[in-house]
């Protein structure tokens, strides 16, 4: 039998953070009494996989059940109490008041703890226009949400759906509904989809939707729903247009589920997340918190930030479980918001800071953009990608990165996130020894190429200009072919193909600030170096070239 002196660790919430905390605590302390309280029917499910079951890409619903109460008990001797909702925390007596959601007529029970871990996560935001329930309006956050959507699709033969919010979940839902033949409208109040991306890269992601005849309605908000009895028939947007629909799925963001913690007197930060230290302890050292309800420290800025992603939640849960069980653990470390999403055939990823943040906080930065292939271009099946790095001058410290393309995008964003976590610079990137064989990469990997490009910029060999720069006042030299210039015209440029530049440089004024332009920036670099060596005072390369400039939304 279990000794009454064994430590009692209570965990509120399962899924990522709670389940990780529980199993780590068990591995550290084989004798602790560990109990998970979960107000829903499933303690550990793959919430990131929910959209993919909607479209049948994950066919078996049971695959979404990561761990069951039976598994927790049989393998770890961890008790799981599903449909048990903790409604209050008494910090003085170290006890929880628990409501039985399976039998609401039962009175609250009390549960004593020595250490408590909060892992309630976040909850989807419900906008004002959706406060009144409707039979065909859903959010996608839990298994019952998913089941309700599928039931509605099957029973009412949905032909047209409206997705509100073009974040990760919204994009995934659009893709999956389209996959099963439903016409989808996507509304986003920001000017671009996936608004953590810089506008040009967001427009590339948007193009992936347009290829599938999905045309996002950006810079518009849903103002109200039109209804027929208990269902929504249309949405009225801020510009007055009306979007008919059979089904509405809301994906406009989440907020930390902190009500229980606030009522217990725990401290909350400026961003609305629960304050924790590096060991995930709250303002009460016997209460820990992990996952989407807490504030994390940003790796680059050291500012406190919300970061509702599964990876940090798992890591934070592990640290909370270890420290609760033993009083010691490694520190949590910072987060970068490293994210990735599939938009049909295109992969979109990002890490660290974007230009909007850097500009708002008046932080100086430089950018370098390259276009490359995932492996050697001569090997069959090579797919293209666009890779952008933001960095400090003159240190070269990497501040952020974004990538859009086909295969291999995930590898490159992970390499960049790793370098950033270690405080790396573009000079460090240039030295990384990456695996190479024609089916897998190139001798000069896209990582190396963007590093070399940034280093050239920092060393004025030559400097780079952002692709959306106003070219007025520059002497613009277009070194592309006649066909390329016809496909993507650049008004006011002086056309001199790259191989003709050495013999025609005398046509140019060496005293004027000069920007050299090509399709991707590679030939422009060669041309700019030639002009610089010929005595031109101020020479620049338009990073990413005209193919990137043409993506300005």
Looking up tokens 């270890």 gives 322
Residues 6+ apart with CB under 8 A from 360: none
CA distances from 359 to 107, 180, 366, 427 (A): 54, 41, 11, 24
Tally of CA atoms within 13 A in the half-sphere of 475 that contains its CB: 16
**Does 548 or 553 have the greater pLDDT score?**
548
> Band of the pLDDT at 108, cuts 50, 70, 90?
confident
8 Å CB contact between 124 and 139: yes
* String of DSSP letters for 122-182: EEE---GGG-S--TTEEE-SSHHHHHHHHHHHHHHT--EEEEE--SHHHHHHHHHHHHTT-
How large is the average pLDDT for residues 198-216?
97
Query: Could you give the maximum distance between any two Cα atoms of the chain, in Å?
Result: 92
What are 144-172's pLDDT values in tens digits?
999 999 999 999 999 999 999 999 999 99
Percentage of the residues of the chain whose pLDDT score is greater than 90: 96
Cβ-based neighbour number of residue 37 at 10 Å: 25
Query: How confident is the model at residue 4, as a pLDDT?
Result: 54
Query: How confident is the model at residue 15, as a pLDDT?
Result: 87
Query: How confident is the model at residue 272, as a pLDDT?
Result: 94
Q: Kindly report the average pLDDT of the chain as a whole number.
A: 96
Query: How confident is the model at residue 75, as a pLDDT?
Result: 96
How large is the average pLDDT for residues 106-123?
94
Q: Which of 48, 206, 518, 529 is an active site residue?
A: 48
Query: How confident is the model at residue 254, as a pLDDT?
Result: 94
8 Å CB contact between 552 and 200: yes
Query: How confident is the model at residue 2, as a pLDDT?
Result: 41
Query: How confident is the model at residue 111, as a pLDDT?
Result: 96
8 Å CB contact between 264 and 89: yes
Q: Among the listed ranges 17-26, 42-51, 115-124, which one has the minimum average pLDDT value?
A: 42-51
E strands present in 229-336: 231-237, 242-244, 247-250, 254-256, 287-289, 296-297, 304-305
8 Å CB contact between 232 and 150: no
The full 3-state SS of 183-207, as one line of letters, equals: EEEEEECCCCCCCCCCHHHHHHHHH
What are 35-52's pLDDT values in tens digits?
999 999 999 899 999 999
How large is the average pLDDT for residues 215-241?
96
Query: How confident is the model at residue 497, as a pLDDT?
Result: 97
Residues in a beta bridge with 305: 296
How large is the average pLDDT for residues 357-381?
96
Residues in a beta bridge with 287: 116
How large is the average pLDDT for residues 77-83?
96
How large is the average pLDDT for residues 415-443?
97
Distance CA 278, CA 487 (A): 54
8 Å CB contact between 368 and 389: yes
Quick check: 1 pLDDT over 60? no
How large is the average pLDDT for residues 291-302?
96
Cβ-based neighbour number of residue 434 at 10 Å: 17
Distance CA 166, CA 389 (A): 24
Looking up tokens 């990876």 gives 311
Three-state DSSP state, 342: strand
Task: For residue 518, indicate whether it is catalytic.
Answer: no
- In order of their start, the domains of the chain are 8-121+256-326 (3.50.50.60), 128-252 (3.50.50.60), 345-459 (3.50.50.60), 460-553 (3.40.250.10)
What are 402-414's pLDDT values in tens digits?
999 999 999 999 9
Please give the distance of CA 525 from its chain centroid, rounded to a whole number: 32
């Amino acid at each position: 039998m279990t000794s009454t002196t064994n430590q009692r660790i209570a965990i509120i919430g399962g899924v990522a953070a709670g389940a990780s905390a529980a199993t780590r605590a068990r591995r550290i302390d084989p004798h602790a009494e560990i109990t998970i309280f979960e107000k829903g029917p499933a303690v550990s499910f793959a919430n990131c996989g929910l959209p993919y079951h909607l479209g049948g890409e994950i066919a078996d619903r049971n695959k979404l059940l990561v761990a069951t109460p039976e598994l927790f008990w049989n393998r770890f001797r961890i008790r799981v109490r599903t449909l048990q909702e903790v409604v209050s925390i008494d910090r003085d007596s170290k006890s929880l008041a628990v409501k039985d959601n399976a039998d609401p007529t039962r009175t609250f029970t009390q549960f004593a703890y020595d250490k408590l871990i909060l892992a309630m996560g976040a909850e989807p935001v419900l906008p004002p226009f959706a406060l009144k329930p409707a039979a065909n309006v859903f959010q996608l956050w839990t298994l019952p949400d998913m089941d309700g959507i599928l039931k509605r699709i099957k029973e009412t033969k949905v032909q047209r759906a409206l997705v509100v919010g073009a974040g990760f979940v919204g994009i995934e839902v659009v893709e999956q509904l389209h996959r099963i033949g439903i016409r989808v409208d996507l509304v986003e109040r920001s000017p671009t989809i996936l608004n953590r991306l810089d506008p040009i890269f967001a427009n590339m992601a948007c193009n992936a939707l347009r290829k599938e005849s999905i045309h996002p309605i950006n810079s518009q908000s849903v103002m109200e729903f039109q209804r027929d009895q208990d269902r929504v028939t249309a949405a009225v947007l801020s510009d007055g247009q009306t979007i008919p629909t059979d089904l509405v799925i809301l994906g406009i963001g989440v907020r930390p589920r902190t009500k229980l913690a606030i009522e217990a007197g725990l401290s909350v930060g400026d961003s609305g997340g629960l304050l924790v230290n590096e060991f995930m302890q709250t303002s009460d050292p016997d209460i820990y918190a992990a996952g989407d309800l807490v504030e994390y420290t940003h790796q680059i800025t050291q500012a406190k930030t919300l970061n509702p992603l599964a990876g940090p939640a798992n890591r934070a849960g592990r640290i909370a479980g270890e420290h609760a069980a033993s009083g010691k653990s490694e520190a949590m470390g910072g987060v970068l918001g490293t994210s990735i999403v599939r938009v049909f055939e295109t992969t979109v990823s990002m890490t660290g800071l974007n230009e909007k943040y850097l500009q708002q906080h008046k932080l100086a930065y430089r950018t370098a953009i390259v276009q490359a292939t995932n492996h050697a271009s001569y090997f069959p099946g090579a797919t293209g990608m666009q890779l952008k790095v933001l960095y400090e001058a003159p240190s070269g410290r990497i501040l952020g990165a974004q990538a859009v393309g086909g295969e291999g995008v995930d590898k490159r964003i992970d390499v960049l996130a790793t370098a950033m976590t270690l405080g790396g610079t573009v000079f460090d990137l240039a030295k990384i020894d990456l695996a190479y064989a024609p089916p897998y990469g190139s001798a000069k990997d896209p990582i190396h190429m963007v590093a070399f490009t940034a280093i050239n910029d920092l060393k004025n060999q030559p400097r780079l200009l952002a692709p959306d720069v106003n070219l007025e006042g520059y002497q613009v030299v277009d070194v592309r072919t006649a066909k390329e210039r016809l496909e993507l015209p650049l008004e006011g440029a002086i056309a001199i193909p790259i191989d003709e530049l050495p013999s025609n440089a005398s046509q140019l004024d060496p005293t004027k600030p000069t920007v050299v332009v090509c399709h991707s920036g590679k030939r422009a670099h060669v041309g700019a170096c030639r002009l610089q060596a010929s005595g031109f005072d101020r020479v620049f390369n338009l990073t990413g070239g005209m193919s990137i400039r043409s993506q300005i939304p």
